Each structure stands twice: as structure tokens, then as C-alpha cells.
Amino acid sequence: MSDEWKRLAAERAVEDVMPGMKLGIGTGSTAEHFVKALGARVRDGLDVIGVPTSERTRELALSEGIQLTTLEAEPQLDLTVDGADELDPSLVLIKGGGGALLREKIVAAASKRMIVIADASKVVDVLGAFALPIEVMPFGLAATWNAIEAALAENGLSGDLVLRGGKDHPFVTDGGHYIIDAALGRIEHPACLAEDLAAIPGVVEHGLFIGLADKAYVAGADGVLVVEATAQDAEN
């Protein structure tokens, strides 16, 4: 049922899209359902323009007839709709399973609002069961790796670090970077970890999205649940 739930969440989010909006369009299997549902509305006459967060999303959006632009042309967006690999009750997210976390975070930060679409399996009490993606420069990889391990230890965290794709054929992001996936189990204090990772030279971005999402549509056996961030969540 997971794919059906993803579709239901995506279709609910499309209802929030108003004529004339400038949209950030996410990446991943759930976001693809959103692109297809948005394309259907565009073909029915909805006038919007989108900024895709990956080359894959760009190609799908164009095939659906959605008009696209860039953040250079439209540096402030009305709304971003994207999926998540994990989300907690405060709408703190882990993203980056699809490898587009840098562009996804740039686009989300340029938007007035962000809506997350997900199936119920993505909701957790504490983040970390999904390995945290950390996007890094290829240059100086060993030094960056050591610094990441030290930052994890400072935060009382441990777990396997894996170079996505392996050292012989590493996965390369649209920005030309590598991704280290950190299997941490439980991230009790994501804001502290996010700050420490961001301070490491060589770390381009990490998959902790904090204070960006203000609403989520989570679909499951009981239908689509609406989760909204509170002012306190945003402060944390």
C-alpha cells in the first residue's frame, strides 16, 4: 500500500497549489507522484511555474508540461513540496536518500512554505533509523571523514559510515559531490548535530532539515493525516 499512500499524500498537497504560484518541486518517489498530479492540473489550465530540485525531477516535470524556471530568475518561491526519508512529530526531517539533498535544501530555504508528503512508514518518534546522508567534497575525503567521525563522537553518536556507491564507483550528486551515509540509530539532538556537521570543511550539506517544513501530509491506512509545525517547533 505504500505507493498508493504516497500518491494520496501527493494529491492532497496539490490542493494547496494556487494559480500563479512559484513552486519548488522535490525529488524522490513520493515527489514524482506530486509532479504527475501537478501536471494533470496544469493541463487543465493551472498557471504555475516550478524550480526542480534535481535533473530527474526536471525531466519528469517537462514531460508533464510544467513550466520551469531557476532560482536565478525567481530567487523567492511561494511553496516547496517534497518528500522525506524520515520525519518526527516536530517536522524535523532526514532527506537525501535520493541524492538531491543540497538542491532540496536550497530550494526549501528559498520558499515561504514547505509541505512534506509521505506515507506513514516515514514518521518516527526519534530520527536516525534511516542513515543520515552527508554530502561532501571529493577533495580531502579522508580528512572530512575523520572530522565527521569526531563530530559524531562529540554528540554521543556512533555507527557505520558508508560512502554511497563504494570507493570504486562512488555515487556523484548533481553538484559533483559524494555522499557519506551515517547509520546512527537514534539522533536525540538533531540541531546540535546539524550545527557541528555544517562547521566541518569539506561537508557541503547534511540531510537534517530543521525549521523548514511547516506542514506534512502523511497518508496511511486511516487516510491522510495533517501534521503542522508549531511556533515552538520552529524555534527548536
Residue of 32, 64, 104, 135 marked active site: 104
The contacts found for 144-149 with CB under 8 angstroms, 24 or more apart, are: 144/200, 144/201, 144/202, 144/203, 145/180, 147/200, 147/201, 147/202, 147/203, 148/180, 148/182, 148/197, 148/200, 148/203
Cα distance between residue 144 and residue 90, in whole Å: 30
Instruction: Kindly state the cell numbers that stand for 41.
Output: 492540473
Instruction: Kindly state the cell numbers that stand for 22.
Output: 512559484
State yes or no: is 104 an active-site residue: yes
CA proximity to 86, closest of 78, 74, 94: 94
- Residue that is written with C-alpha cell 550539506 in the block: 205
User: What does the radius of gyration of the chain's CA atoms come to, in whole angstroms?
Assistant: 17
Annotated binding site for substrate: 27-30, 82-85, 95-98, 122
Q: Which residues are catalytic?
A: 104
